[in-house]
Amino acid sequence: VLKISIAPFYGNRIILPRLSQFHALYPDLKIEPQMESTVHDLRKTDIDAGIRYGKGRWTGLTAIELHRDVLQPVAAPSVVAGRSLPMSPKEIAELTLGYLEGDETDWDRWLTDQGFDGPPPKHMLAYGNRARVIDLAFSGHGLALADRTLVAGDIAAGHLVLLNEGTLLNDRAMWLVFPETEYPDPRLTAFGDWVRSVVKELQEGVPPPFSQVSDPS
């Protein structure tokens, strides 16, 4: 049994729906997800590893990159009702933009990369974690720059709509982390390889941009 700490927002979207696939590949291993937002000191608990979001630099931990953020603007279908897709950077800049605290430059960078040279966005809301930012998008009260892999299922189900195909590759990623050791546990590296394969399948299955039709009402 391997105990792996996973934030619920990530685990419910990426890991749990497909965990039976891993167990079928490795019947002698059992992953026991610890679904919690608490960041543990893995050197002082019985948890074997964790999946963390960040830049991959944590003292005393080995970090294996699972997938890097590729950010794109998303919103609830109600936001795009009556609008043509893709939305222009100018249209997007005029709406309420949610962002993760400490990453307020992401929107500016995305807009600049898309050729926008207008005034800075006036309506911006900061949140302490990515789940809250994407909740803003779900609510229809604002937009989120979201990792397309993380919200692929929500886009496919029509709960979120991709507003523009422009992307921003930042320096943050999801990582499999565990205490530093000269010889990493092959069971953990096998789990990391499997998560990367899941992400690849998700990315390949994302529908082409703007295959959705917004509600004209």
Q: Annotate 42-65 with three-state secondary structure.
A: HHHCCCCEEEEEECCCCCCEEEEE
Query: Which residues make Cβ contacts (< 8 Å) with residue 82, sequence separation at least 6?
Result: 214, 215, 216, 217
Closest CA to 207 of 159, 163, 155, 160: 155
- Amino acid sitting at position 14: I
Residue 151 phi/psi, 5° resolution?
A: -110, 15
pLDDT for 23-48, tens place per residue?
999 999 999 999 988 787 888 889 99
The pLDDT value given to residue 152: 86
Q: Are 60 and 43 in contact (CB under 8 A)?
A: yes
Nearest to 29 by CA among 2, 69, 5: 2
Residue with tokens 């222009």: 88
Rg (CA), the chain: 19
Of 89-98, 169-178, 208-217, minimum mean pLDDT range: 208-217
Average pLDDT score over the chain: 90
pTM: 0.84
Mean pLDDT of 139-162: 92
Q: Is the C-alpha dihedral spanning 130, 132, 135, 136 positive or negative?
A: negative
- Model pLDDT for residues 158-186, shown as the tens digit of each residue: 999 999 999 999 888 999 999 998 888 99
